[in-house]
Amino acid sequence: MCADYTPSTNFHIDNHFHVASPQLVFPLEAWPGYMAPILRTSHEVLGELEIASAMFGMVPHWADHKLARQTYNARTETVASKPSFRSAWKRKQFCIIPAANFFEPNYETGKPVRWRIERADGGPVAIAGIWEYRPADQLLSFSMLTINADGHPLMQRFHKPDDEKRMVMILDPDQYQGWLDGSLVTEQDVYRQYPSDLLVAQPDPLPTRTRAKPAAKAEATPPDSLF
């Protein structure tokens, strides 16, 4: 699961995704409950894409904002049936989360050490996601899609030894439009483990002064009924 990542800058969004960013201001790192940019099909101009500010963690119309701490990731195996995600999935509310990198805990020393994972070529990581909108408070929120990562040369190094290995679903540029318009959601090749040779990782411990509160969010485990 991914509970901490670095949103792409406006500059990198403009240059990589070729979508004019509204120059929104986001935190250097995004945790569940934080606002961050997503790329989705425009609801104002037919056929165009837009960058929007959304809360990291799906918040359906029936839920409290606190649910974002439990719905920041959605399993591809159950996203179509779980209460928190199924409405967005049925409506094909797909998005791309532009990230400079994302973080995962490594337990190889016996204690959790935060590692930073990013593309080897330095480009943005395009994470597949779904979004939801609450008219009552005009809240746009999103969740990252995750897939099984058992046997992945890199991602199997993260999370507790006995935990299932998972990774965010990363898209290639030629898959962006197909994911956003829903034409790729039945294609098995889009649910593949992203090649390990296209990723690099290194230790990046969380600063001591911010360790306590974010770590609590990162360790939150969603109830099975929701996740």
Render pLDDT for 98-114 as a digit per residue (tens, 0 to 9): 999 999 999 999 999 99
C-alpha to C-alpha distance for 155 and 162, rounded to whole angstroms: 14
What is the mean pLDDT of the segment spanning 169-189? 89
Q: What is the pTM of this model?
A: 0.89
Q: What is the pLDDT of residues 197-225, one digit of tens each?
A: 999 999 999 877 554 444 333 333 333 33
Please, which pLDDT band fits residue 227 given cuts at 50, 70 and 90? very low
Q: Which domains does the chain have, with CATH numbers?
A: 5-218 (3.90.1680.10)
